[in-house]
Amino acid sequence: MTDQAPALMILVPVFASLALTLIGPLGHRAAYGLLIVSIAISLASALATMVQVVQTGQSVHYRMGDWIPPMGIELVIDHLSAVVLVLISACALLTAVYSMHTARQDNPDRLNHYYALFALLVAGLLGMTATGDVFNLYVLLEISALSSYGLLARGKGKAYYATFRYLIMGTIGASFYLLGVGYIYIMTGSLNMADLAEILSRPELEASVSVRIGFSLIILGVWIKMALFPLHAWLPNAYSRAGTTTACLIAPLMTKVSVYIMLRIMFTVFSADYIFQQIAWSHLVIYLASAAAVLGMITALSQRDLRKMLTYIIVAEIGYLTGGAWLANTAGYTGAVYHILADGLMTLCLFMAVGAIIYRTGQSTAAAMQGIFQRMPVTASVFLIAAASVVGIPPTCGFFSKWYLLQGAVQAGAWVFVAALIIAGLVAAVMFFRLLEMAFFGRLEDAVSENGTENPHAVPPKIRLEEVPLTMLLPLVISGAALFGLGIYTNEVVQYLIRWSVPAGI
Amino acid sequence: MDELFYFIIAKYNYWAALVLLFIGLFGMIVRNNLMKKIIGMVIFQTAILLFIVSIGVKRGATVPILKFSPDKQPLLDATAYANPLPHVLILTAIVVGVAILGVALALLQKIQRVHGTIEEDEILEDMRK
Amino acid sequence: MTWDTSLLWQFDILILLMMVICAVTALALEGLLSSAIVTGAYSFLICLMWTHMMAVDVAFTEAAVGAAISTVLFLGTAQYINRWIKKERPREQGIKQITLVIAVICAVMMLSATRDLPDWADPDSPASTHLSPGYIEQGYFETATPNVVTAVLADYRSYDTMFEAVVVFAAALVVMVILRRTSHKHRKLLHLRPKREGRDTILRGAAQSIIPVMQIFALYVLFHGHYSPGGGFQGGVIFGASFILLALCYNLKFSMNRFREHAVLWCCAGGVLLYAGIGAVCLGLGWSFLGYGALAGILGVSEVMARSHGILAVEIGVGITVMAVMVSLYNDLASGGDLEDGL
């Protein structure tokens, strides 16, 4: 069955989503169970494929419809995509388990349709990561985009306008991607990534303006999709108004998969040599990335709303990832790929923790953090770990990704990026210190006596332990532990997985 | 003169597609009314589709449906038929386009119900309240 | 320095000019209803253009989807929104202007770079020489399908097409999730919808005579997709349009009695399920997903014919989904989500 695993991991969620559409009458427990089972199968298939890739040291090819590429479409799973596939399915599984209470809270009606869109989004993301065909990628991009519009629009009142803006921006992004594919197709006549790479490496296309335009359009489209500064305006609005489950699913994964696509296009379809010799603007990207990192973090610092703060952290992290990719050296690339993993887990962890806090306190401003350590000790500890990882404190994985990125930046002599990484880290430290101070020492509202005046001699009221239900706590703890685990096994991850995916020529 | 004429003849299709593309983009970015943004989006998408279908055209070629000789053998000269691959891609893309249009219109109806307007500046004012 | 006069460039340029005019008009008009109609006209013009480019399947789809269904969806929505745009007030548009300047620079650069593209309709361009001859020359022997577009769509690239069906399915689901949430106390917000009591006898008579023909034609388009332009999408859209016409000429309740809410939902998912199910059967028989050759043993025919039958089966799946999704989109958008009364 392992040779069918690449197809199964994408198709099982598709089938699940079809079934979920129809099983409304069976109730929410059936829907919840079906979702978890299907994503668990995906995760198992992704893990099986990753093991196969690591053991053989070669990429796995799966021919759809038994057609030989480039005539047909093939799935290609190499070291890079195997890692991202496992990340996607693992994050989705944790979110699915977590969603038991929050999804019902956010979706009083049509929960099964919500779950169907959830499964479709996962299928779309997995498909985008696994595919070896640039047009197929576009179709799957639209599937994940459409299902995310549906999920985001389930938020409250203002979510509709935020989703609409996301839809407009997302469509512009996807259309630019498609137009870029069109330009590349005119010049090469192919859509298969491996075939394209072979044709594009021919000397007669080196100087072609159309190929450059095609490359620029694709990258521009992907940048809009991944909300790179200054194209990020849609993201904080759309994500911060979404329901808790939606935010936990979309925030860690959508942007990371876009980064993955950027890496694919840059290093699989095109090559580092081509980009840095032929593309005039390629040296400016590092400044954009630095600006994204610094401005994203500073804007995050100025936010009152917890969720909005986290969304600006995503904008900043996108800066790290883009910078790492465009440093064009091994350390930078390793840092970027490792940071996809680290940041995916970090964001998931933060959003889940904040989701848990919102679930219990019912408010999403920073004030909700007050006294969290007494009331929800486990959630607060996990939040602390995730915060440490964002700031970059060892042994969490955030430290190691920053280490690689810094190393890469120093090697490339990109001092702007070095400065940006350090400043962003410091700003993040200030931001989380402020929050955690409130979480540790902030008084509960109960401490303030009834008539509004504080009575210093009153006995502090007994603090009730209000930890969230087990279905929410378990994924939270697992993701927190994963941050440590990934940090501790950094060497192994880099050695067995990421080093193999480093493209030739950088 | 002949040179210029030839140049125009050889590329006009791509030009038209690009002009339409930027008209659509203008509508999406600059217009204040959300319905106009959606119409801009439709124009923007179809312009890209026009561009890609243009790739498939071959001089002197006919529709990509095989013709048969009297003895029931297919005529398999590739230069006689238009390139089918862009057609396939665009068929897919058209359907994607209508899917997005449907979702956009649904959101538009909801925005009207929540904010009572579909003018962008008025919505922003309403949200600030 | 030769150009083929058979391409009739004067005709092309005329249509392209009209398209540009339509596009500008659609964006400039103050009435949203009329902009929607002009957008429909734009779609028809692009159909003409595509027919002239020998992309008949594409033109067919655009005529059914872009010109017909999209316009109906626009009109359905126009009932619930302010129909006239407000005069643009002068306000600071700093970011928009910068974006605009960048867009114009890009436009100039891209227009000037067209010199680098292969000439239009050049039979020696890479796109015409790399992959497509393979499809044309081998397609018939491998799939027994003379319409190369159908063969590529439903066999060589059938994985794409399956996800295309999933996209429309997702659209129906998303629209349902967004719109069918109106609780009863919010019904009064639907006041903008005009009340329609009786319908015209002439309309009903016309509908009675047209709808059966449309449905038969839709089935023909679907099942004849191997030999002529058409296939699952086009057939499905036309079949769906017949129900929409029914709803337009009678009312939404009438058409929903013929094609109930649950049936629509089952068809939406069922078509994709049929498509993916066939793929999964192939996978279960030890072939790759969607490797129709696996069906040869079950059907008792050669592998080539099995591919041909596989194409037909998945086209039927696409047709069912597309038909149901078009009806579902219309039902939701035209009734504002409450499925009470339509356009």
Write out pLDDT tens, residues A471-481: 888 999 999 99
Task: State residue A447's pLDDT score.
Answer: 44
pLDDT band at C86 (very low <50, low <70, confident <90, very high): confident
Give the pLDDT mean for A322-328.
88
Cα angle A48, A51, A53; round to 5: 110
Q: From A208, which residue of chain C is nearest by alpha-carbon distance?
A: C116
Task: State residue B65's pLDDT score.
Answer: 84
Task: State residue A446's pLDDT score.
Answer: 47
pLDDT band at C185 (very low <50, low <70, confident <90, very high): very low
**Nearest CB partner across the interface for B55, out of A153, A172, A185:** A185
- Residue pair C307/C293 in contact by the 8 Å Cβ criterion: yes
* Chain A neighbours, 3+ Cβ pairs < 8 A: B, C
**Nearest CB partner across the interface for A182, out of B51, B104, B127:** B51
Instruction: Find which of B62, B65, B79 to mutate to test the C interface (most C CBs within 10 Å of its CB).
Output: B65
Task: State residue A469's pLDDT score.
Answer: 83
Nearest CA to A282 out of A261, A293, A294, A267 is that of A267
Partners of B68 in beta bridges = B74
Task: State residue A463's pLDDT score.
Answer: 60
Question: Smallest CA–CA separation between C284 and chain A, in Å?
Answer: 9
The two tokens of residue B122 are 């008025």
Task: State residue A200's pLDDT score.
Answer: 87
Is A175's CB within 8 Å of B89's CB?
no
**DSSP H or E run through C267:** helix C261-284
Mean pLDDT of chain C: 83
Q: What 3-state DSSP class applies to A482?
A: helix
> Cβ atoms within 10 A of the Cβ of C12, count?
19
Is B99's CB within 8 Å of A160's CB?
no
Report the amino acid identity of residue A246: T
pLDDT of C325 higher than 90? yes
Q: Which of residues 208-227 of C touch B (CB under 8 A)?
A: 227
Report the amino acid identity of residue C187: R
pLDDT of C191 higher than 70? no
Phi, psi (degrees; rounded to nearest 5) at A243: -65, 165
Is A161's CB within 8 Å of B28's CB?
no
Instruction: Find which of B85, B111, B123, B126 to mutate to test the C interface (most C CBs within 10 Å of its CB).
Output: B85
pLDDT of C332 higher than 80? yes
Give the pLDDT mean for C169-188.
74
Is A168's CB within 8 Å of B37's CB?
yes
Q: Give the list of residues 6+ apart from residue C269 with CB closer than 8 angstroms, or none.
A: A18, A19, A21, A22, C169, C321
Q: Give the list of residues 6+ apart from residue A37 with CB closer than 8 angstroms, or none.
A: A16
Q: Cα separation of B107 and A151, whole Å? A: 12
Task: State residue B104's pLDDT score.
Answer: 93
Residue C213: Cβ-neighbour burial (10 angstroms; 0-12, 13-18, 19+): exposed
**Nearest CB partner across the interface for A146, out of C113, C174, C283:** C174
- Contact list in A for residue C291 (CB cut-off 8 A) is 65-66
Question: Smallest CA–CA separation between B52 and chain A, in Å?
Answer: 6
Task: State residue A1's pLDDT score.
Answer: 62
Mean pLDDT of chain A: 86
Nearest CA to A80 out of A266, A204, A326 is that of A266
ipTM of the complex: 0.94
Touching check for A172 and chain C: CB below 8 Å? no
Partners of A224 in beta bridges = none
Q: From B40, which residue of chain C is nearest by alpha-carbon distance?
A: C27
Cis peptide leading into residue A503 (ω within 30°): no
Top pLDDT among C109 and A19 is at A19
Q: What 3-state DSSP class applies to B62?
A: strand
- Residue pair C339/C244 in contact by the 8 Å Cβ criterion: no
pLDDT band at A179 (very low <50, low <70, confident <90, very high): very high
Instruction: Find which of C128, C178, C193, C328 to mutate to test the B interface (most B CBs within 10 Å of its CB).
Output: C128
User: What DSSP letter does each residue of B13-25 carry, written as one string?
Assistant: HHHHHHHHHHHHH
Give the pLDDT mean for C94-117.
77
Q: Cα separation of A220 and A237, whole Å? A: 21
**Nearest CB partner across the interface for A161, out of B28, B96, B115:** B115
Q: Cα separation of A195 and A184, whole Å? A: 12
pLDDT of A454 higher than 80? no
Nearest CA to A477 out of A388, A343, A381 is that of A381
Touching check for B2 and chain C: CB below 8 Å? yes
> What is the percentage of chain A residues whose pLDDT exceeds 90?
35
Residue A166: Cβ-neighbour burial (10 angstroms; 0-12, 13-18, 19+): buried
Residue A204: Cβ-neighbour burial (10 angstroms; 0-12, 13-18, 19+): exposed
Q: Cα separation of A243 and C64, whole Å? A: 37
Q: Which of residues 63-122 of A touch C (CB under 8 A)?
A: 63-67, 70-73, 109-110, 113-114, 116-117, 120
Q: Which of residues 169-208 of A touch B (CB under 8 A)?
A: 171-172, 175, 178-179, 182, 185-186, 191
Question: Smallest CA–CA separation between B109 and chain C, in Å?
Answer: 6
pTM: predicted TM-score of the whole model, two decimal places: 0.93
Is B78's CB within 8 Å of C133's CB?
yes
pLDDT of A396 higher than 50? yes
**Nearest CB partner across the interface for C81, out of B46, B50, B108:** B108
Which region among A236-245, B9-18, B47-56, C280-289 has the lowest average model confidence (pLDDT)? B9-18
Nearest CA to B59 out of B31, B44, B39, B81 is that of B81
Q: What is the pLDDT of residues B22-65, one digit of tens each?
A: 888 888 888 888 888 999 999 999 999 998 888 888 877 788 88
Which region among A377-386, A432-441, B46-55 has the lowest average model confidence (pLDDT)? A432-441
pLDDT of A275 higher than 90? no
Question: Smallest CA–CA separation between C305 and chain A, in Å?
Answer: 15
Q: Cα separation of C278 and A8, whole Å? A: 14
Q: Cα separation of B98 and B91, whole Å? A: 11
Is A15's CB within 8 Å of C276's CB?
yes
Is C19's CB within 8 Å of B20's CB?
yes
Nearest CA to B88 out of A381, A335, C229, A195 is that of C229
